[in-house]
Structure 1
Amino acid sequence: MHTGAWFVAAAVLLGAGPAAAQSALNWQRYNVGANSAAADVPRAVFSEDAGPAQDGTGRRFASADGRADLTVQSIDNTRGLSPAAFLAERNPPPGIIYRRVTPRFFAVSSIRDGRVWYNRCNRVPGAMNCVLINYPAAEKRKWDAIVTRISRSLR
């Protein structure tokens, strides 16, 4: 489905109720592996397999038009770093607009080259389970509900 078309469908159906929105965006659970990262993925949006995660184990997904992508991955954390220490070691780019760090997870977001990037990692024994999402900054409001659901579904 063309990106603009699914935004219209999602907006209409989100007003119709959660069951209709679930069906329209074709939410499916993606599991990296047993006892590993998992998150809900709207397959109507991220319809393309973009290959393995670049870091850790997991998968990358892309929109059909290539303007948005999602990675679900599990990254080794056998040293047991806290989310704050793990984030610091990742050397995030300067200018982070949104940052939330707790003992259980971190979430950071900013804008780079006209695209919003959002990363959330949950601390689990021996790993950090993460989602990374990139999408056009001009469409931020349209993406808010999708990013929120993906982020909250991360296990």
Structure 2
Amino acid sequence: MSKIVLARVDSRLIHGQVVTKWLQQSAANEIIVVSDELEQDEFLQSIYLMAAPPGVEVIIKGTESVKAYWENEAAAKNSKVLFLVPDLTTLREMVEAGVVKEAIQVGGLGGGPSRKNVVKNINLSEDDVEILEGLLAKNMEVYFQAIPEETPVPIHKLIEKYKTL
């Protein structure tokens, strides 16, 4: 049975820090990227597949197809998985589906309308705060950490900051 060794929310998905630092830190040998948009775009998929180092399998699935993959194919493997989602909405769906049960690392959420910057790389909206509070209510460990060298910050501290902005 495959095991998620790191569940990470990062709007950039596979990028330099993920490849050079988090793969090594987590000892993952497989990356599962969950993105409905990416699942439909073969060109972008090819770019993400090339970004992964040799020996690391990359699986790109949408929110529905990853559930079947996790229950069937991943269950038949013995992989250490770095599980990447681009946003908190996707994360919530993976938690509700029972795919993600582990601690959740928030590494990067981009800016945009109605989003407030609470710390580098993290911009939250009201919907994001609602999702995070729901995860905390389920007693899930959720924290912010951009790179392994940084000390993890409990997500409730970023929620508190959001509410004062």
Give TM-score, length-normalised by structure 1: 0.27
Larger RCO (alpha carbons 8 Å, 6+ apart): 2
Q: Which has the higher strand share?
A: 1
More helix by share: 2
TM-score, normalising length from structure 2?
Answer: 0.26
